[in-house]
Amino acid sequence: MPTMDLPEDTDPVVLLTYVSQAKVLMVGAGGIGCELLKNLALTGFGEIHIVDLDTIDLSNLNRQFLFRHEHIKKSKALVAKEAAESFNPNVKIEAHHANIKDAQFNLEWFRGFKLVFNALDNLEARRHVNKMCLAADVPLIESGTTGFNGQVQVIKKGVTACYDCATKDVPKSFPVCTIRSTPSQPIHCIVWAKSYLLNEVFGISEDEAAFDHSTDADNAKEIAELKKEAEALRIIRESVGTAEFPKMLFDKVFKADIDRLRSMEEMWQSRQKPEPLDYDVLKPKTPAVTPELLQDGQKLWSLEENLAVMNDSLDRLSKRVAELKAAGTAQPTITFDKDDGDTLDFVAAAANIRSSIFGIERKSRFDIKQMAGNIIPAIATTNAIVAGLCVLESFKVLQGEYEKTKEVFLSPFATQRLLSADKPQPPNPNCPVCSVYQTNVYVDLSRATLKDLVGDFVRLQLGYGDKELAVSTEAGVLYDPEEEDNLSKKLGELGIMQGTFVTIVDEDDDDVFVNVVLNIQEATQDSSQAQKEPTKESNGVNSDGDATVKDLKRAREDEGDVPPTKKAKTSGADDDDVVLVGDEPSTGGAILIDDD
Amino acid sequence: MTEIVMSQTPPILHGPSDKEKKYDRQLRLWAASGQAALESANILLVNSGCGTVGVETLKNLVLPGIGRFTIVDEAVVQNADLGVNFFLDETCLGKLRSKCCTELLQELNPDVQGEWFPKQPGTVDLDQILLNSPTYTLIMYTMPISSKDLAALKEYGQKHHTPLFAIHSAGFYSYFNIQLPGTFPIVDTHPEAERTIDLRLTKPWPELAHFAESMTKDMDQLDDHEHGHLPYVVLLLHYLEKWKETHDGKLPTEYKAKLEGEENFQEAVAAVNRNIKEQTLESTLGEVFSHEASGNVDAKSSFWVIARAIKEFHRKHGCLPLPGGLPDMKAQSSVYVKLQGLYKAKARKDSQEVLEIAKSLSGGEDVDSAEVDLFCKNASFVKLVNATTGDQDLTKTYEEQKENDSLAEVTMMPLSLFPIYLALSATTHEPAASVDQIKASAYSRLPAAADDMRISQACEEVARAAGGELHNISALTGGMVAQEAIKIITKQYIPIDNTCIFDGIASRCQILRL
């Protein structure tokens, strides 16, 4: 006979004890974060740490209820802590106005938490916390909202899928020639205004990420021309703030550059040629810039109105540059921010003028803001639902009941099931992030070379033998069969520090090992661990060697193998697991490993 | 050094208004029209019990900027409130909960007006408040509530056409129920973008057919670039026409990708299944038409006048007014702009025709062209909520749920949450009832439930909560209630019809019409 889901095996007193003793981390104090902090505090969580690098903006106030108008420009983490404490003096909250990627938030620090909540708004930080939680083996509750949609997911190493088990969409980049020479859609002109023009005039030169710079025989010449064009624009930048500047800029980008493009006949055989504009003809026709004009973001501005807004925004931006200079900044820069009206007006007007030149439809500033700013709609209600779901999942995680956890989705289109809960997905055996073998390695960074690491540790210790392999860090490839120059360099010289993750990828075609991620821990020659366990080196090598190779064998679906991460030991840093390797064992060795 | 030119004129107010900036992230969802509806909304909360779910719901409505709210709550703040209500602290002890919550909620958004009752500790006369207040746009009440107050609210709802929200949160369970005054039409339902594309490929109007023909008549003579930039709309029209020529003017009944070639040809293949379809009415619109025919509608409301006009348009042309949108596709920009212009012009023409029909109908003299435009653009997706009237039969609903549950193992569907609703609603007036009382009340409403173990278990769980709210469950429920309230106030998106039951143990909910 079917029964209700009942919390019968959840003794409320036991749960309350778990909750009150839990020290948890909340990354992000924005939309979900404000709600979550309130719920955690009132649920009785003992100690809550908050990390957020952001400051409060006017556009947050429609949902981030711990913040008021007077808090604008202050730290989200600090204001959230103060607000929550004032309502609930019993809760212990620690706030960090900092980037979660900072070195201070290392693995050791992550290990101090019973549970981590992600309440973030960007892919990069989510991926980072996911990686740290996997390495520290701390459970993570990941959440996100977009408008009426939301999602909550529990991530536990070796048990559930991690954030990167399914590939995520990455922001789109456009071919540089489409943006700079042959735009055909409004978005091309918006990217041009935001990532090229604004940056060349007020920011830090080209926004590289927005462009795909791949060259081929067809576009090599044009790309060389575009470089010259950008250099010429940088010279005009010298005149920012002068009365002549608006005309100089206009003549350059809306006339001279367009004339040059028109002269490339082969480019326009099947496209409509762009029509350059004449400043002296257009300027007398521009209307006065009134507050009404600027406040109506929905209106489609005429060409003349766009020029008026462009010149007005140039004036505002130039004054800001002058003020920054006066305040002592040698080379002031202004970068695009969708909520910074001056930059938004500039981008909207410049994009629309360029659209007119290329016969592309113009857009309202409201639409351009969304297209340029990558705006994600956000409301209080969805955040309230998602934050509540996060806390419900945390109860199961605290009691170790991962089989009961749910991956919950909210969708406005499924009106019959506002919330749908699914069983968590298992880890993807080919996930580049969680299906790797992770281990700590203790290294004397000032002495150990890459050769010590590759030759002695990876090949001998881990059993790679003479396999082809590649070694890389976030900065790039350090070693592979074609790149051996770094072998003699010290690890410190290669940018490897305490906490760096070094990835070993097997490049053989047969019997491929899973990727190995080494978490580098600094240990000098006289570090206590090295001294305490000097005799482990030979024993450790042999006894752990076989097991390691077995662990590294890639799971084969046809054999129904369990993903290797599940086989990996999960004990913490235990002295017994410390293995010493190195070619100079008598001097204490340069590399130590502990199984994680 | 360059000379800095400083303007002498005083700075003027720049950029979008502060209000537009503050509400920017939600304007992306419901636009200025939805925001205006919110800002003119006047909401009443009749609060009781622990009072958390009501206040959490209001919080989520105050933040996006409703016009005004009123809290009616007889309670005086006690220690127990501090543990579940985030907005109350020790300084509130002994004070009126309605007043404390109103003041703290107003702090969240200074644009919102707040009012509270009673003014002095004691009982409130709800009838008097309802009588003397400006008309409420929407009323929410939390359980427990007295039979007398409930009857007063229901009467008010009928009289003033005010939607009522009943909200109940206890322990790990909650539900809320929306009572709408009659049928509730929604034009701006925000369907998924790809569903809204209507290219009229099987039924091109003359201008479109002519355009496609002129572009493809010497197709094989085109150079590679031009050939590779023929918009897929044009390609599909061309090949459909060729098919019809060899098949007695009939359309193909089955489509297999046979086109190969450049990117635009691949786009055409991808668009075949999505965009070539016979013109059929969406069932939701069919419901609107048949409801219109039933005569059981307010003939003067502009919605029903336009619905009638659209129905007439459909009868005459065999298709709905063209929405007019054109998706991105590989094409030369000048060609794309022309094609876009064709679709826009046809949409304007259709909308104009509907407007003329509407104006000729009785009650249609003052129909607004913007409203007609919106209706025409969304015609396929217009939705009628609460179309069936009359009380639902609880026994029938229960039998249906039991039937579904008996197949649950085969269908892999989760079990019904109906027992939670039945158990919670047994404590509508008596929050701290005993297990036996709750069961007795449930079984008296639904005798068949007496030997149902799941209902019995749900009653035990509700008794265990003894009317106590868990902050987290109430906060989550408050999010869901406010979300539906916003849909009803803005008349955008499709609200649930009409009861949402939440199970905080399984983290899931179910929508039932009760």
The tens digit of pLDDT for each residue in B66-112 reads 999 999 999 999 999 998 999 898 999 999 999 999 999 999 999 99
Please report the DSSP string for A502-570 in residue order.
EEEEE--SSSPBPPEEEEEEE--TT-HHHHH-TTHHHHHHHHHHHHHHHHHBPP-GGGTPPPHHHHS--
Count of structural domains, chain B: 3
Two tokens, residue B309: 């006009």
Tell me, yes or no, whether B268 and B151 share the same domain.
no
The fold adopted by the segment(s) A437-595 is 3.10.290
- In the prediction, which pLDDT does A110 show? 97
CATH assignment, A174-373: 1.10.10.520
More confident residue, B435 or B387: B435
Tell me, yes or no, whether B122 and B218 share the same domain.
no
Q: Which one of B337, B340, B480 has the shortest CB-CB distance to A385?
A: B480
Mutual angle of helices B333-360 and B369-378, in 10-degree steps: 120
Confidence of residue B405 (pLDDT cuts 50, 70, 90): very high
Which CATH number is B156's domain given? 3.40.50.720
Q: Which one of B334, B482, B505 has the shortest CB-CB distance to A359?
A: B334
ipTM of the complex model:
0.91
* B486 domain-assigned: yes
Tell me, yes or no, whether B148 and B233 share the same domain.
no
On whether the CB atoms of residues A123 and A168 are closer than 8 A, the answer is yes
Given an 8 Å threshold on Cβ–Cβ distance, is B508 in contact with A408? Answer: yes
The upper half-sphere exposure of residue A369, i.e. CA atoms within 13 Å in the direction of its Cβ, equals 24
- B42-46, B94-98, B326-330, range with the lowest pLDDT: B326-330
Two tokens, residue B423: 């158990």
**Scanning the structure block, which residue is given the tokens 């649920």?**
A43
Tell me, yes or no, whether B264 and B372 share the same domain.
yes
* B12 domain-assigned: no
In chain B, residues 35-94 whose CB comes closer than 8 Å to chain A: 56, 59-60, 63-65, 83-84, 86-87, 89
DSSP state of A413: T
Given an 8 Å threshold on Cβ–Cβ distance, is B28 in contact with A385? Answer: no
Please report the DSSP string for B500-513 in residue order.
EEEETTTTEEEEE-
Tell me, yes or no, whether B97 and B154 share the same domain.
yes
Residue in A32, A62, A319 to test binding to B, most B beta-carbons within 10 Å: A62
Rounded Cα gap, residues B435 and B441, in angstroms? 10
Q: Which one of B5, B408, B508 has the shortest CB-CB distance to A241?
A: B5
The alpha-carbon gap from A560 to the nearest alpha carbon of chain B, in Å, equals 25
In tens, the pLDDT along A439-471 reads: 888 888 888 889 888 888 888 888 888 888 889
Mean pLDDT over the full length of chain B: 89
Tell me, yes or no, whether B206 and B102 share the same domain.
no
On whether the CB atoms of residues A151 and A409 are closer than 8 A, the answer is yes
* B5 domain-assigned: no
Domain boundary among B370, B388, B406: B388
**Residue B174 at interface with chain A, using a CB cutoff of 8 Å:** no
Cβ contacts of B18 on chain A, cutoff 8 Å: 58
Two tokens, residue B251: 């359309």
Cβ contacts of A297 on chain B, cutoff 8 Å: 16, 20
**Residue B147 at interface with chain A, using a CB cutoff of 8 Å:** no
- A393-402, A527-536, B325-334, B362-371, range with the lowest pLDDT: A527-536
Residue in A16, A240, A300, A381 to test binding to B, most B beta-carbons within 10 Å: A381
Which chain A residue's Cα is nearest to B85? A42
Tell me, yes or no, whether B247 and B265 share the same domain.
yes
Cβ contacts of A270 on chain B, cutoff 8 Å: 223, 225-226, 229, 332
Cβ contacts of B477 on chain A, cutoff 8 Å: 388
Tell me, yes or no, whether B141 and B30 share the same domain.
yes
Domain boundary among B388, B416, B444: B388
In tens, the pLDDT along B256-273 reads: 656 666 778 888 887 877
A143 phi/psi in degrees, rounded to 5: -145, 160
On whether the CB atoms of residues A206 and A200 are closer than 8 A, the answer is yes
- A124-133, A159-168, B166-175, B282-291, range with the lowest pLDDT: B282-291
Q: Which one of B4, B83, B503 has the shortest CB-CB distance to A322?
A: B4
Please report the DSSP string for A264-324 in residue order.
-GGGGSSSPPP----HHHHGGGPPP--HHHHH-TTS---HHHHHHHHHHHHHHHHHHHHHH
- In the prediction, which pLDDT does B390 show? 63
* Cβ atoms within 10 Å, residue A165: 20
Rounded Cα gap, residues A140 and A153, in angstroms? 8
Cβ contacts of A58 on chain B, cutoff 8 Å: 18, 21-22
Given an 8 Å threshold on Cβ–Cβ distance, is B334 in contact with A341? Answer: no
Tell me, yes or no, whether B228 and B369 share the same domain.
yes
* B9 domain-assigned: no
Which chain A residue's Cα is nearest to B340? A361
**Scanning the structure block, which residue is given the tokens 């892999």?**
B412
Given an 8 Å threshold on Cβ–Cβ distance, is A316 in contact with B14? Answer: yes
A–B: how many Cβ contacts below 8 A? 241
- pLDDT > 50? residue B317: yes
The alpha-carbon gap from B28 to the nearest alpha carbon of chain A, in Å, equals 6
Buried b (16+ CB within 10 A) or exposed e, B54-84: bbbbbbbbbbbbbbbbbbbbbbbbeeebbbb
Given an 8 Å threshold on Cβ–Cβ distance, is A295 in contact with B13? Answer: yes
In tens, the pLDDT along B447-497 reads: 999 999 999 999 999 999 999 999 999 999 999 999 999 999 999 999 998
Rounded Cα gap, residues B133 and A199, in angstroms? 56
- In the prediction, which pLDDT does A510 show? 78
* B8 domain-assigned: no
**Residue B492 at interface with chain A, using a CB cutoff of 8 Å:** no
Percent of chain B with pLDDT over 70: 94
Tell me, yes or no, whether B207 and B250 share the same domain.
yes
**Biggest alpha carbon distance in chain A?**
87
Rounded Cα gap, residues B77 and B94, in angstroms? 5
**Residue B399 at interface with chain A, using a CB cutoff of 8 Å:** no
The SS3 of residue A419 is strand
Cβ contacts of B190 on chain A, cutoff 8 Å: 412
Q: At a CB cut-off of 8 Å and minimum separation 6, what does A532 contact? A: A575
Q: Which one of B26, B226, B336 has the shortest CB-CB distance to A379?
A: B26
- In the prediction, which pLDDT does A296 show? 79
Residue B158: give the domain boundaries: 18-182+470-512
Q: Does domain A12-169+378-422 have CATH number 3.40.50.720?
A: yes
On whether the CB atoms of residues A250 and A197 are closer than 8 A, the answer is no
- pLDDT > 60? residue B12: no
The SS3 of residue B267 is helix
Cβ contacts of B327 on chain A, cutoff 8 Å: none
Given an 8 Å threshold on Cβ–Cβ distance, is A382 in contact with B479? Answer: yes
* Cβ atoms within 10 Å, residue B203: 14
In chain B, residues 470-489 whose CB comes closer than 8 Å to chain A: 470-473, 475-480, 482-483, 486
Domain boundary among B368, B388, B408: B388
The residue ranges of every structural domain in chain A are: 12-169+378-422, 174-373, 437-595
- In the prediction, which pLDDT does A313 show? 93
Q: Would you give per-residue pLDDT tens digits along chain A (596 residues)? A: 677 776 655 666 778 888 999 999 999 999 999 999 999 999 999 999 999 999 998 989 999 999 999 999 999 999 999 999 887 788 899 999 999 999 899 999 999 999 999 999 888 899 999 999 999 999 999 999 999 999 999 999 999 999 999 887 766 677 778 888 888 888 999 999 998 899 888 887 655 556 666 666 567 777 778 888 888 888 888 888 888 899 999 999 999 999 999 988 877 877 788 999 999 999 998 888 888 888 878 889 999 999 999 999 999 999 998 888 888 887 788 888 888 889 999 999 999 999 999 988 899 998 898 888 877 889 999 999 999 999 999 999 999 999 999 999 888 666 566 788 888 999 998 888 888 888 888 888 888 889 888 888 888 888 888 888 889 888 788 898 888 888 888 888 888 888 888 888 888 877 778 888 888 888 765 543 433 333 333 222 222 333 345 556 654 444 333 333 333 333 333 333 323 233 333 333 344 444 43
Cβ contacts of B23 on chain A, cutoff 8 Å: 62
- Active-site positions of A? 177
Rounded Cα gap, residues B36 and B20, in angstroms? 12
Query: Reduced to 3 DSSP states, what percent helix, strand and coil does chain B have, rounded to the nearest 5?
Result: 50, 10, 35
Q: β-strands B508-512, B499-503: how paired?
A: antiparallel
Tell me, yes or no, whether B241 and B341 share the same domain.
yes
- In the prediction, which pLDDT does A89 show? 80
Rounded Cα gap, residues B282 and B296, in angstroms? 21
The SS3 of residue A163 is coil
Rounded Cα gap, residues A206 and A200, in angstroms? 6
Please report the DSSP string for A70-105 in residue order.
GGTTSBHHHHHHHHHHHH-TTSEEEEE-S-TTSTTS
Tell me, yes or no, whether B238 and B326 share the same domain.
yes
